[in-house]
Amino acid sequence: MKHIHITLIVALLSLYLGFAQQTPAPKQSKAIAITGATAHIGDGTVITNSLIIFEDGKLTQVLDGTTVKVDGSKMDVIDARGKHVYPGFIVPNSTLGLVEIGAVRATNDDRELGSWLPHVRSLIAYNAESKIVESMRPNGVLIGQITPRGGRIAGTSSVVQFDAWNWEDAVIKEDDGIHMSWPSPFVRGRWWLGEDPASKPNKNYDAQVNEISDCFNATKAYMQGDRSTVNLPYEATNGLFDGSKTLYINVGNEKGIIDAVNFAKSHNVKSMVIVGGYEAYKVADMLNKNDIPVLLQRVHSRPGRTDDDYDMPFKLAKLLHNSGVTVALETSGQMERMNSRNLPFYAGTTVAYGLTKEQALQLITLNPAKILGIDDAYGSLEVGKSATLFISEGDALDMRTNIITHAFIDGRLISLETHQTKLWKRYSEKYENQD
Amino acid sequence: MNRIKFAIALCFCSFALFAQDYFPKNDGVKTSNTNYHAFTNAKIYVTPTQVIENGTLLIKDGKIIASGKTVSIPKNSTVVDLDGKSIYPSFIDAYSTFGVKKPERVRGGNGPQYGPSRTGYYWNDHVMPENKAIEKFNFDSKSAKDLIKAGFGVVNTHIENGIIRGTGTLVALNSEADNSMRILNPNSGQYFSFSKSVTSRQSYPGSIMGSIALLKQMHYDADWYAKGNSKTRDLSLEALNANKNLVQIFGAGSRANALRADKIGDLFGIQFVILGGGDEYERIKDVKATNATYLIPVNFQNAYDVENAYLSRSLALSDMRAWNQEPSNPKVLAENGVRFAFTTHDLKSPKMFMSNVMKAIEYGLSKEKALEALTTIPAEVLGKSSEIGSLQKGAYANFLITSGDIFDKKTTLYENWVQGQKTVLEDMNITDIRGDYEFTLAGEAYKMTLKGSLSKLKSEITSDNKTRGSKVAYADDWVHISMTTKDSTEQKFIRLVANVTNPNALNGKAVFPDGNEMTFYASKTVKKDDKTSADDKKEATQKSAKETVPITYPNMAYGFDKLPQAETLLFKNATVWTNEDDGIMENTDVLIKNGKIAKIGSNLSDGSATVIDATGKHLTAGVIDEHSHIAAASINEGGHNSSAEVSIEDVIDEEDIGIYRNLAGGVTSIQILHGSANPIGGRSAIIKLKWGESADNLIYNDSPKFIKFALGENVKQSNWSSFARFPQSRMGVEQLYMDYFNRAKAYDEAKKSGKPYRKDIEMEVLAEILNKERFISCHSYVQSEINMLMKVAEKFDFRVNTFTHILEGYKVADKMAEHGVGGSTFSDWWAYKYEVNDAIPYNAAIMHNAGVTVAINSDDSEMSRRLNQEAAKSVKYGGVSEEEAWKFVTLNPAKLLHIDDRVGSIKVGKDADVVLWSDHPMSIYAKAEKTIIEGVTYFDIKRDEMLRAQIKKEKSELINQMMKAKNKGLKTQPIKKKEKEQMHCDYLDHQQH
């Protein structure tokens, strides 16, 4: 608590400590000003001695505070000199709140039976009180796109903020996108049948692509009929054609990306995003021409092939950025939920491999906001947008200095306590009392 | 005499040869054949080094009576004049499954099977020394025919199933005889492998290291059994002892496994004959050092089909090189004095055998060595040199008659004789009618070419420069040709037939579509030989051996051209993280000499040193990962609840790209831990990441001894459907330890008493723990079990060395400090299973504050290359100072591994295992620029840049070569994308299930 300067806020925070789950903060009732911080706007710009004011959950002032005086009587003032302010980080393509403990099947709600499940919605299974979700906040990760897994079409995602009583409370954008896995160019050998476990070219690739095409065509045919017998998958798929949903296609290889883009174009899909995109940099021109952004696979991952550059996953963001593609980082993969709090450090790593810090910041703020279609309210510190932001003692992209003192979602000062901080304190005290 | 009739006559005669004289006969009179066969004027390869020009081979009763220049031919001989032809001994395959049906894989069953399926035998179903190939043997005439066509006369067959496979059977491929004649040795050697039997579901062993341990233990037990110590009967041990004096053949199948097999042999005074993998050339010195004789397959790969530029991108350089380099393997073996025989093993069909041997010769193998590998060496291996593999007096009459040099593509293999029984493959007395002809029929002039092999002639006929459709058949001196008529609107044929009496002309008749006949005479215009002389010349100029791309160490992307050497290096003006009392020293020089840290100070100089300007950079000790699973061929032996008998040191994989990637993350030493499949796991390997060195050279000299223990969900098998193995609860885990340690104590006391005892590898290892000679690194999560193991250890008067993972260590940090155990933990992992529900990222800080030696580990080949960042998380979570946090991944793991006298800090006299970072080593923005182990730069960011370009270039060249091969019409294989399994604690080997 030593980092907090405003007594009022200390009082507010201590209220929450007694609860098992962190209590969502109430609506912002009074204007708040953050003074003197280095503000990282999220669009690539920085204001070194900034003044940030927000009221009723919205930013009203974001400017150079060198010559501006704040009226402390009308608002709570947080003196953040020497500190940094960032827009809340956004984690797309996430299963946060859908699974609590991976190995305990009863807590798993991230995948359904079947392969064509556009009608399956993640939002209603999203556990706003997940202990893992709350552990995102002390690292600055405040918004997520909650996404189902599995099948050819896994289902429909929604975008939520991470301080809520329930999923209705949490939702920022409901049913924003449909998530598809593009057929793989390789299939693994079935070792249990005595086959070589190495991967071989997928002979069914074309057939699998045709299956997707058939389903899209069937949706269009269905929509032209009287729809008297409701077909849930077709109804859901239609969002891709009327522009209400974005098509997220998980695909990494160059040819797959080309095929996926051509496929989506040929079906007049209004909006599409490449997810993964290991080789997206090789087809950047095509992506730019068609205005297709990339949710780039986890930065902290192994190179895709033995011979690949050891730093390939680290530098992909730079390669794509250089080509002008809109890139955001995603975190899916092994232990993805608990690892999502490392999102800022994924961005930090891209700096060591070519980007500037502000460019890297965009990968987890404004760019994902744009891709998810929430940039009217989130993703950057701009007047009129939601006051979803946090104050860090230092550079939030480096783990040594990502020490967060205050975080706000829609202007609400949220608790930074978690199941984990409570255990930390409980046992630290235990040993202190032993001395 | 008509040759066909002659052959049949011989057949009739030969039946008599194989009738057993004490058997009753009811289908005729008893006959015996005392005639000889004499083959004269031949070039006879008695052995590869003893060649007789214009010699005579005399055989009788399936055996060789004489071979030499002056052999007197008895009067009752059938004489065959082989003027200009050659005789070679028939080939021998010492690693065959001929006539033994492939055992069928057992299916079904609920859950794993831990016990054996049989009684009266050893406790493990996968060792079956009592098996005998002869009992499963059925002569397979069809396969025999294929082998005979490929030049083989004798094979040693076996049951290719299990870790110990029992005895083989030496068989002559004599289709005309029966087993009484063709079985040359019913128990001709004992076969081994590392692969489990497909006919039993018994879980153990579930890994190569388990197979190794099983083979060792069984040999100890056999010795103990032989001394009469067992109260019970064990037919397997009896068989193993009975087979001891036979040749011991190990089906290793790869260079790495060959070295592993040889080490087992060394332990028991057994020199295995080893089935190789064709990859021996990659580390030929190690292969040579085994002193073993190898059985070498020649299943050279086809080029990959690389036309699809997208798919071919996934092809690894190592796989491309294998295609390019493999054919040179026999040459490299021969040049390095490794004794080897060829085998058809792994070939889809023996048909490809000879062409692949010839390919090896094109790549530089001498013909003499090739012939040895086909004849004398396999004969010696099988202890039958006097009977097979040569054409010496007394040997079986197993020989080949050829038109010339057997390794020349143009040579025809005429006949393969096995035990005096002839198989005609090509008629050797047929007249060569190949060539160009001209003839006239009904006023029309024709040109005709006959080409191809004599048994499969091809024809080309033109008239008025138009090609006619034509077919030719040629046998027994009769040639039949059909060709289409000039009128192409209707299919009608003119037939030509001629009896060949003159090699330069065909004289016969033509039959027209209307039935009219007229005489036909075609004369040869140009001799075929003249035409090919141009080709010959071309070939002669290409005679030098085919080149392959150079190998690297390891032989894959990012390998070294030659092993790198230690250098004298002087780092100038660095920020030096000493991890010693001097703390973090700015603007400091460090001199590295003879693999050690020689000096630390300012303004250092050394005339012999390469100076590295480290201004603005940071120099630290190399990162040490206490918990790694990279660089190992297997990780878990989960077939038993204790596997102390296995060791990761036996299964190090020096070709894991993870080594290179870890170096790029500043890692220099790791402990490769066994997995967490069982409460008592296997022994660790503590290695340095000396990329390029052989597996054994990675292991620390005088390595501290460690073993993996594990607690909780994995050892209880909570997260997969297995309910048959004790323990199923944490309660059981404690009792398992109590049981094993009590037994180990009793074992150790018995051993120390000097009385005879049954050597038990598992107990030996556990006794080392009790005697404080071996340390435990225990996978652990929740506080109850952590506490429990410390109490168990205290009962037996030792301490647990390290708790690894230890995610609830913070709850018992005071108890840990008191016990004196270290904690090697994850920085921030949690929530992936129930027992990590209370895991917190502040764990390292709390344990550290309580006085526990703390390390941060990876258990993950991705995280391990960013352990510097993971250490930095302790600054965020719990406010550990940067200097102390840095020790979490350097000095502290060194202490936990008992290697801190050698590594872990920058101190004069310690090993020069250092990393030069571009920035503060715990900054997210830092990169390792140089990673040095004992003065050798194993990773250099600039060299890496160069290598990327080289890899691209080499791959393009190889792709081009493969495209050429495809365009030449050679067969191709589909692209494969090799992905190394990423191993964690929970990983179970599946290759052997």
Name chain A contacts of B664, Cβ cutoff 8 Å: 310-311
pLDDT tens for each residue of B448-478:
999 887 778 889 999 888 888 899 998 888 8
**Closest partner CB to A101 (pick from B657, B814, B831):** B831
Does the distance separating the beta carbons of A431 and B814 come in below 8 Å? yes
CA distance B760 to chain A (A): 33
Taking only residues 908 to 947 of chain B, the set having a beta carbon closer than 8 angstroms to any beta carbon of chain A reads: 918-919, 922-927, 944
Please give the residue of chain B at the shortest CA–CA distance from A254.
B310
User: How far are the Cα atoms of A394, B322, B369, B374 from residue B277, in angstroms, in the given order?
Assistant: 57, 11, 19, 17
pLDDT tens for each residue of B271-293:
999 999 999 999 999 999 999 99
Residue A176 has pLDDT above 70, yes or no: yes
Q: Is the dihedral of CA A263, A269, A270, A276 positive or negative?
A: negative
- Tokens of residue B787, six digits: 């506490």
A179 DSSP β-pair partners: A155, A248
CB crowding B204-230: b at 16 or more within 10 Å, else e = bbbbbbbbbbbbbbbbbbbbbbeeeee
CB B189 within 8 A of CB B168: yes
CA dihedral A275, A280, A286, A291 (to 10 degrees): 40
**Closest partner CB to B866 (pick from A254, A300, A400):** A300
* CA dist., res. B369 & res. B26, Å (int): 50
Residue B898 has phi, psi (to 5 degrees) of 60, 35
* CA dist., res. B387 & res. B50, Å (int): 16
- All structural domains of chain B, each given as residue ranges with its CATH number in brackets, are 448-541 (no CATH), 623-903 (3.20.20.140)
pLDDT at A5: 42
Residue B679 has pLDDT above 90, yes or no: yes
Average pLDDT, chain A: 93
* CA dist., res. B191 & res. B166, Å (int): 6
Overall average pLDDT of the B478-491 stretch: 85
Please give the residue of chain A at the shortest CA–CA distance from B954.
A307
Considering only CA atoms, give the Rg of chain A.
23
Distance of CA B844 to the CA centre of its chain: 43
Q: Is A276 exposed, middle or buried (0-12, 13-18, 19+ CB in 10 A)?
A: buried
pLDDT at B993: 28
Question: B936-940 and B928-933 as β-strands: parallel, antiparallel, unpaired?
Answer: antiparallel
Question: B972-973 and B303-304 as β-strands: parallel, antiparallel, unpaired?
Answer: parallel
Does the distance separating the beta carbons of B862 and A300 come in below 8 Å? yes
Percent of chain A with pLDDT over 90: 89
CB crowding B97-115: b at 16 or more within 10 Å, else e = bbbbeeeeeeeeeeebbbe
Name chain A contacts of B948, Cβ cutoff 8 Å: 309
* CA dist., res. A288 & res. A286, Å (int): 5
pLDDT at B682: 97
Provide ipTM, 2 decimals: 0.95
Question: B972-973 and B936-940 as β-strands: parallel, antiparallel, unpaired?
Answer: unpaired
* CA dist., res. A408 & res. A418, Å (int): 16
pLDDT at B992: 30
Local structure of residue B140 (DSSP, 8 states): -
Please give the residue of chain B at the shortest CA–CA distance from A196.
B991
Does the distance separating the beta carbons of B316 and A305 come in below 8 Å? yes
Does the distance separating the beta carbons of B828 and A310 come in below 8 Å? no
Does the distance separating the beta carbons of B948 and A302 come in below 8 Å? no
Please give the residue of chain B at the shortest CA–CA distance from A299.
B862
- How many contacts (CB atoms, under 8 Å) link A and B? 166
CB crowding B969-984: b at 16 or more within 10 Å, else e = eeebeebbbebeeebb
Find the largest Cα–Cα distance for chain B: 114
Nearest-CA neighbor of B268 among B221, B315, B328?
B221
**Closest partner CB to B831 (pick from A132, A200, A311):** A132
CB B821 within 8 A of CB B806: no
Question: B680-683 and B91-96 as β-strands: parallel, antiparallel, unpaired?
Answer: unpaired
CB B922 within 8 A of CB B728: no
* CA dist., res. B158 & res. B168, Å (int): 4
Does the distance separating the beta carbons of B828 and A201 come in below 8 Å? no
CA triplet A142, A144, A146: central angle to 5 degrees?
Answer: 150
B619 three-class SS: strand
Please give the residue of chain B at the shortest CA–CA distance from A392.
B876
Overall average pLDDT of the A267-290 stretch: 97
Sorted by where each begins, the domain ranges of chain A are: 7-87+400-434, 89-378
Average pLDDT, chain B: 93
pLDDT at B22: 85
Name chain B contacts of A428, Cβ cutoff 8 Å: 842, 846, 849
Lowest mean pLDDT among A171-185, B489-503, B650-664: B489-503
Residue to test with chain A: of B107, B617, B876, B941, most A Cβ within 10 A: B876
CA distance A429 to chain B (A): 10
- Tokens of residue B50, six digits: 């003893």
pLDDT at B985: 59
Percent of chain B with pLDDT over 70: 95
B436 three-class SS: strand
Name chain B contacts of A191, Cβ cutoff 8 Å: 990-991
Does the distance separating the beta carbons of B664 and A311 come in below 8 Å? yes
Percent of chain A with pLDDT over 70: 94
pLDDT at B488: 73
pLDDT at B14: 46
pLDDT at A9: 46
pLDDT at B7: 44
Please give the residue of chain A at the shortest CA–CA distance from B977.
A199
Name chain B contacts of A192, Cβ cutoff 8 Å: 990, 993
CA distance B824 to chain A (A): 18
Cis bond before residue A87 (omega within 30° of 0): no
CA distance B682 to chain A (A): 25
Neighbours of A68 (CB within 10 A): 14
pLDDT tens for each residue of A356-368:
999 999 999 999 9
Q: Which residues contact A429 (CB under 8 A, 6 or more apart)?
A: none
Range list of H helices, B178-306: 179-182, 208-226, 235-242, 255-268, 284-289
pLDDT tens for each residue of B506-553:
999 999 888 888 888 998 886 545 445 555 555 555 567 788 999 999
Lowest mean pLDDT among A413-422, B541-550, B567-576, B976-985: B976-985
Name chain B contacts of A138, Cβ cutoff 8 Å: none
- One-character DSSP codes across B732-780: HHHHHHHHHHHHHHHHHHHHHTTS-----HHHHHHHHHHTTSSEEEEEE
* CA dist., res. B680 & res. B710, Å (int): 7
**Closest partner CB to B660 (pick from A192, A310, A353):** A310
pLDDT at B875: 97
pLDDT tens for each residue of B601-618:
999 999 999 999 999 999
Overall average pLDDT of the A215-227 stretch: 96
Please give the residue of chain B at the shortest CA–CA distance from A360.
B925
B592 DSSP β-pair partners: B569, B597
pLDDT tens for each residue of A383-428:
999 999 999 999 999 999 999 999 999 999 999 999 999 999 999 9
Does the distance separating the beta carbons of A103 and B831 come in below 8 Å? no
Beta-strand (E) ranges in A245-342?
Answer: 246-251, 272-276, 294-296, 327-329
- One-character DSSP codes across B926-982: --EEEEEETTEEEEEHHHHHHHHHHHHHHHHHHHHHHHHHHHTT--EE---B--PPP
pLDDT at B981: 59
Q: Is the dihedral of CA A228, A231, A236, A237 positive or negative?
A: negative
A156 DSSP β-pair partners: A121, A178
- Tokens of residue B2, six digits: 């008509």
Number of residues assigned to chain A: 435
Does the distance separating the beta carbons of A101 and B833 come in below 8 Å? yes
pLDDT tens for each residue of B733-772:
999 999 999 999 999 999 999 988 999 999 999 999 999 9
pLDDT at B497: 92
Fold of A89-378: TIM Barrel (3.20.20)
Taking only residues 776 to 835 of chain B, the set having a beta carbon closer than 8 angstroms to any beta carbon of chain A reads: 810-811, 813-814, 828-834
Does the distance separating the beta carbons of B846 and A424 come in below 8 Å? yes
The residue with tokens 């007249």 is B431
B438 DSSP β-pair partners: B447, B523
Name chain B contacts of A349, Cβ cutoff 8 Å: 866, 869, 924
Residue A299 has phi, psi (to 5 degrees) of -65, -45
CB B781 within 8 A of CB B835: yes
Does the distance separating the beta carbons of A427 and B813 come in below 8 Å? yes
pLDDT at A188: 86
pLDDT at B990: 39
Taking only residues 828 to 887 of chain B, the set having a beta carbon closer than 8 angstroms to any beta carbon of chain A reads: 828-834, 837-838, 840-842, 846, 849-850, 861-863, 865-866, 869, 872-873, 875-878, 882
pLDDT at B600: 98
**Closest partner CB to B976 (pick from A198, A431, A434):** A198
- Tokens of residue A201, six digits: 């070219």
The yes or no reply on domain A7-87+400-434 and CATH 2.90.10.10 is no
Residue to test with chain A: of B617, B852, B924, B942, most A Cβ within 10 A: B924
pLDDT at B526: 66
- Tokens of residue A21, six digits: 């789950």
Does the distance separating the beta carbons of B977 and A198 come in below 8 Å? yes
* CA dist., res. B911 & res. B930, Å (int): 16
- B77 vs A434 pLDDT, higher one: B77
CB A38 within 8 A of CB A50: yes
pLDDT tens for each residue of B218-269:
999 999 999 999 999 999 999 999 999 999 999 999 999 999 999 999 999 9
CA distance B29 to chain A (A): 54
pLDDT tens for each residue of A98-123:
999 999 999 999 999 999 999 999 99
A145 DSSP β-pair partners: A159
* CA dist., res. B666 & res. B917, Å (int): 8
**Closest partner CB to A338 (pick from B831, B927, B977):** B831
Does the distance separating the beta carbons of B873 and A306 come in below 8 Å? no
B36 DSSP β-pair partners: B77
pLDDT at B3: 45
pLDDT at B32: 77
Kindly state whether B224 is in contact with chain A, defined as any CB-CB distance less than 8 angstroms: no
What type of residue sits at position B603? N
pLDDT at B982: 62
Nearest-CA neighbor of B170 among B389, B353, B488?
B389
CA distance B924 to chain A (A): 5
A15-23: long-range contacts, CB 8 A cutoff, minimum separation 24: A16/A415, A16/A417, A17/A417, A17/A422, A21/A129, A21/A131, A21/A134, A22/A134, A22/A163, A22/A414, A22/A415, A22/A417, A22/A418, A23/A415
**Closest partner CB to A338 (pick from B318, B830, B978):** B830
The secondary element (H helix, E strand) that includes residue A55 is strand A46-55
Taking only residues 663 to 692 of chain B, the set having a beta carbon closer than 8 angstroms to any beta carbon of chain A reads: 664
Name chain A contacts of B105, Cβ cutoff 8 Å: 194
Q: How confident is the model at residue B987 (pLDDT cuts 50, 70, 90)?
A: low
Residue B1 has pLDDT above 60, yes or no: no
**Closest partner CB to A101 (pick from B317, B837, B878):** B837
Local structure of residue B282 (DSSP, 8 states): G
CB A276 within 8 A of CB A297: yes
Nearest-CA neighbor of B710 among B742, B677, B732, B683?
B677
CB A45 within 8 A of CB A92: no
Nearest-CA neighbor of B699 among B679, B712, B684, B709?
B684
